[in-house]
Structure 1
Amino acid sequence: MSPIFNQIISRNQHTERLLIIGLFGGVFVTGADAFIISALLPAIATSLNVAANTAAYGVTVYALCYAIGAPLFGPLGDRFNKRFLLISGCSVFLLGTLLCGLANSLTTFYLYRAIAGIGAALFVPNVWAFIGTYFDGQRLNQVMGIVMSALSLSIAVGVPLGALLAQLGSWHMAFWGSAVLTLIALLILTIAVPPLPSQNIQPAGYFTSFKVLAHTPHAIAALLITLTWMTGFYGVYTFLGTFATATFHFNTAQTGVIFITYGSANFIASFLAGKFIALIGKKRSVTINGLASAALVLSLGIWGQHLAILLIILVALALSQGWGVTALTAAIVNIVPSNRSTVMSFNSAFLYYGLTLGSAAGGLLLTKIGFYAVTIVAAVALLSAVLIANALNHYSD
C-alpha cells in the first residue's frame, strides 16, 4: 500500500472522528437544554418576578416547538443538502440559546426558548437522517450508539451543569455556557460535515415525503413503537424524583444523584450499543430490551421502596434503555431510505408525544392511585411496543 494511499485513509479517518465529535456535541447541547433549565427555575422565577410554575412553561414552549416543528421541517431534509440543514439548525439553536442568556422579561424568555426549540427541531432529526445516509452496516449501528449516548450524557450532567454555571454567576450564565458549547459544535460541524445532497429522486413537492411515509408499509407502525415505548418510559421517569423524595425524604441534591446514576449507566449502554446490536441484530435487541424494561419498571413499583434495590433496578433499566432505544432508532432510520429526514422528524415528534402522554397519564395515576399504578401502565405500554415491533418484518440487521 503506497504512502499516499495511507495518508488518504488517515485523513479520512481523522475527518470521520471529527464529524462524530461534532454530531455528538450538537446532540448533547440540544438534549441538555431541557435538563439545564430545571435547575434554574427558582432563579429565573425570582429574576423575572413570576411563579416557578410559570417560568417552567419555558420547557413546554421548547418541547412544543420541537414536537410541532420537526415534522414540518422533515421534507426539507429529503429535498435539500443535509449539511446545510444541520448547520442551519445548529445556528438557529445557538441564536435562541444565546438570546435566552439576554432575556429580561417572561415574554422574551418564552420567545427565545421557542427559537431554540425550532433550531433543535431542524437539527436533531437531520443528525439521525445524516447518520443513516452517510454510514451503513455495523458502522451505522456503532455511530448511532455513540451519538445517541450524547442524550444520555445530557441526562447525567444537564442538571448539575446548569446548577454549577448558575452558582458561578446568574442563571444567564447557564445559557451563555450552553451557547459556547453549541458554538464549538457548530464550528466542528462546519469543518467536518461533507456535502450530502438528497438521495430522493422523486418530484420535489413538499408533500411528497408525507405521502411516501403514509404509503410505505410498516412506516406508521414503526413510529408507533417509539410512541408506546416512550409513553411507558417517560411515564415512570418523569416521576422518579417525586417518588424518591416522598419515599426516602431526599432533598434536591440527593434526588439529583438518582438521575446522575441513571444517566451515566444509560450513556455507557448507548455508547457500546453498536457492538451488541451487531451481535444479535436490531429486532432481537428491541425485543429483549423492551421486555426487560417492562419487567424492570414493574420491579420499581414492587421493590423500589428499598434504596439499594432502587439503584440496582435503575442501573439495569438504564442499560436496557440505552441498548434498546439505539437499536430501535437504527432500525427506523432505514424504514424509508429515500425520506430519512421526514421519518426521523416524525420519530422525534412521536418521542415528545410519548413524553406528553406518559407524563400526563403518570401524573393522574400517581395522584389517584400511587406510583405502583404508574409502573403497571408503563409496563403495558412497553410490552405494546414489543408486540408492534415483532409484528413488523422490516428490520435490516
Structure 2
Amino acid sequence: MRKILSLYFLIMFIIGTDTFLTSPLLPTLRHEFNISVEASGWLVGAYALGFALFALVAGPLSDGLNRKKVMLFGILGFSVSTFLCGVANGFWTMVLFRGLAGVFAAFTSPQVWATIPILVPPQKIMRSMGIATAGLAVSQTLGVPIGTYLAVQSWKMPFFIIGACAFLLFLLIIWIVPDFKPAISGKQPSIVGRYGTLLGEGKAKKSFLAYFVFQSGNFAVFSFLGTWLADKFDLTVSEIGNVLIFMGLGNIIGSFFGSNVVAKLGKRNTLLYGIAIMGILYLLLNTTTSPALVKVSYFFLYIIAGTIFPIMMALLQTLSTTARGTIAALSNATMYAATTFGTYIAGILYAQWNGFVGVTLFAAVCYALSIWLWMRSGVAQASEAAAQGPAAVSAAIASQPSGRHLFRRTKS
C-alpha cells in the first residue's frame, strides 16, 4: 500500500507542477512567440479549460471502466502532450498542446481520488487523501521553483523533464497499481443521467454547494493576495514569492499531518472549526503591520487548509460507492467554477469596496455559509457513524431528517 500511495503522491506532484509551471514562464513564452500580454493568458487558460471541460466527461466514463486503464491512458497522453510543449514552434501549437495536457490530466487525477477509498480501510482514508493532496502542495512549494530554475537554461527543459517523468509514472502504474473492476456493471447510464442520479439527493446537493461556497471565498482571497501585498507593503514579485513559500510549507504540513488532528477531533469538528478559524484569521489579516506577520498568518492558514481539504474530498467520496469518478470530476469542475466566480466578485470588491477588507469579508461570509451547508448536509455525521459501527449509524439516523437516505447508503 505504501508503494501505491507514494506513486499517487508523485502523480499529483507531476500534474501539479505542470499545472502551475506556465504562469512564471509567461514573460519568456510571450517573448519567444512574439505575442501580447492578453494573448499569453491563453497558455494558462488552455490547460485549465481542457481540464475543466473533459473532467466532467472523464469522471462518469471511468465509473464504467477499469480505473487502472483510464489512469494509464491519461498519464501516457499527459506525458506525450507535455513533452510536445517543448517542441512547439508557434503560439497556437503551444496552446493546442497545453490544452491536450489539461484534457489528459482530467482523465488521470480523478482516478487517484476515486481509488483511494477502494484501496485503504475507512480509518486510513483521511491520511491517504492527505498524502495525495501533499503532492499538489509540494508541487507549488518545490516543483514550480525547480521548473523555473530549469527554464533559465531553456524554456523547453521543464516540459521535456515533466513529460519524461510522467512516462516513468506510466510504467510504475503498470507495475504497482492493481486492476479495478468497473463500479457500474451491465447497461451504462448516460453521463447526464449519472450526474442526475448523484445530485438527486439533498445531501449531495448541499455538500457540493458547501464545497463551491468555500472555494469561492478561498480563491477570492488567494487571487488578490499579491495585489494587496504590493499595494500595502510595496513588495516586489520575488518578495511576494517568499510569502507564497510560507503558504506552501503550511499546506504541506497540514496535508501530511492533519490526519492526526482528525483522529482526535473527528472529521466534522475538524472541518467546521477549521473553516471558522480560517474566516477569523483572514479578517485579522487586515490588521497586520508587517510582511513578516503576513507570512506567519498564511503559514497557519494553510496548515488548516491542508488539513481540511482532504476531509472535503473524503466526505464527497462517501456520497456514492458506484460514482466515485463522477464525484471526483464534479468536485474538480466545482472548484474551477468557484475560482471563476470568487475571483470575479473579489475584483469588484477590491476595486470598489475598501480594497482587501472587502475581499476578506466576502471570504468570511462564504466560510460561514459553507459551515452551515456542511452541517445541513449531514455527510460528516454519516461518515463518522459508518466508521463507528451499527449503533452509531442508528443514532445518526435518529438525529437526521434524511435518515432513510443515510441508512440506504450505509447499508450498501
| Aligned with residue 370 of structure 2, among 354, 364, 385 | 385
In structure 2, the partner of 1:354 is: 338
> Quick check: 201-210 or 113-122, which moved more?
201-210
Partner of 1:3: none
Match of residue 363 from structure 1: 347
Q: What is the CA-CA distance between 1:60 and the residue it aligns to?
A: 1.1
Q: Which residue of 2 aligns with 1:121?
A: 106
Instruction: Spell out the pairing of 1:1-397 with structure 2 (5 A cutoff).
Output: 16-167=1-152, 169-201=153-185, 203-207=187-191, 208-300=193-285, 302-369=286-353, 370-395=355-380, 396-397=383-384
Paired with 1:304 and 1:126, the residues of 2 have a C-alpha distance of 41
Question: Which has the higher mean CA deviation after the structures are superposed, 39-48 or 90-99?
Answer: 90-99
C-alpha distance in structure 1 between counterparts of 2:19 and 2:238, whole Å:
18
Aligned-partner Cα distance in 2 for 1:275–1:198 = 33
Inter-partner Cα distance in structure 1 for 2:81 and 2:345: 31
Contact 1:22 1:186 in 2 (8 A): no
Q: Partners of 1:82 and 1:216 in 2: how far apart?
A: 25
Q: Extract structure 1 runs of 4+ deviating beyond 4 A.
A: none
Q: Which amino acid aligns with 2:44?
A: V
Deviates more, 1:29-38 or 1:332-341: 29-38
- Cα 1:129–1:170, aligned 2, differ >3 Å: closer, same or farther? same
For residues 38 and 145 of structure 2, the distance between their equivalents in structure 1, rounded to whole angstroms, comes to: 20
**In the aligned structure 1, how far is the partner of 2:287 from the partner of 2:74?**
44
The gaps in structure 2 that reach 5 residues or longer are: 385-412
Return the alpha-carbon distance in structure 1 between the equivalents of residues 307 and 346 of structure 2. Answer: 24
Task: Compute the displacement of 1:229 (Å).
Answer: 1.0
The percent of aligned pairs where both chains have the same amino acid is: 27
Q: Quick one: which amino acid aligns to residue 268 of structure 2?
A: K
Q: Is the 8 A contact 1:74 1:344 kept in 2?
A: yes
CA contact (8 A) 1:273 1:327 kept: no
Tell me which amino acid in the other structure corresponds to 2:221.
V
Q: What's the offset of the Cα at 1:297?
A: 1.5
Question: Contact conserved, 2:65 with 2:181, CA < 8 A, in 1?
Answer: yes
How far apart are the structure 2 equivalents of 1:267 and 1:66? Answer: 24
Contact kept in structure 1, 2:246 and 2:299, CA below 8 Å: yes
Q: Distance in 1 between matches of 2:81 and 2:71?
A: 16
Farther-moved stretch of structure 1 (242-251 vs 146-155): 242-251
The 2-side partners of 1:283 and 1:313 are apart by 24
**Deviation at residue 202 of structure 1 after TM alignment:** 6.1
Q: Which amino acid aligns with 1:282?
A: K
Counterpart amino acid of 1:178? I
Q: How far has the Cα of 1:216 moved from its partner?
A: 3.2
Partner of 2:397: none
Distance 1:305 1:48 in 2: 42
What CA RMSD, in Å, does the superposition of the two structures yield over aligned residues? 1.5
**What TM-score, normalized by structure 2, do the two folds share?**
0.89
In the alignment, what sits opposite 1:9?
none
The separation in 2 between residues aligned to 1:123 and 1:305, in whole angstroms, is 43
Partner of 2:399: none
Which has the higher mean CA deviation after the structures are superposed, 154-163 or 315-324?
A: 154-163
Amino acid at match of 1:104: N
SS in 1 for 2:87: coil
What runs of 5+ residues in structure 1 fail to find an aligned partner?
1-15
Deviations 1:30-63 (A, max 9, x none): 1122321111010000000012332122111111
- 8 Å CA contact 2:202–2:377 kept in 1: the answer is no
**In 1, Cα distance between equivalents of 2:260 and 2:362:** 31
Contact 2:243 2:294 in 1 (8 A): no
* Amino acid in structure 1 at the alignment position of 2:313: T
Query: 3-state DSSP class of the match of 1:303?
Result: coil
Q: Give yes or no for contact 2:65–2:183 (8 Å, CA) kept in 1.
A: no
Aligned AA for 1:87?
Answer: L
8 Å CA contact 1:147, 1:271 repeated in 2: no
What is the distance in 2 between the residues matched to 1:63 and 1:265?
25
Which stretch of the first structure deviates more once superposed, 347-356 or 279-288? 279-288
Do 1:270 and 1:322's aligned partners in 2 also have CA atoms closer than 8 Å? yes
How far apart, in 1, do the equivalents of 2:181 and 2:66 lie?
Answer: 4
Range with greater deviation from structure 2 (261-270 or 56-65): 56-65
> How far apart are 1:312 and its partner, in Å?
1.6
The alignment's TM-score, normalised by the length of structure 1, stands at 0.92
Deviations 1:369-393 (A, max 9, x none): 3111111111111211111001112
Q: Could you say if the C-alpha distance between residues 305 and 186 of structure 1 is closer, same or farther in structure 2, counting changes exceeding 3 Å?
A: farther
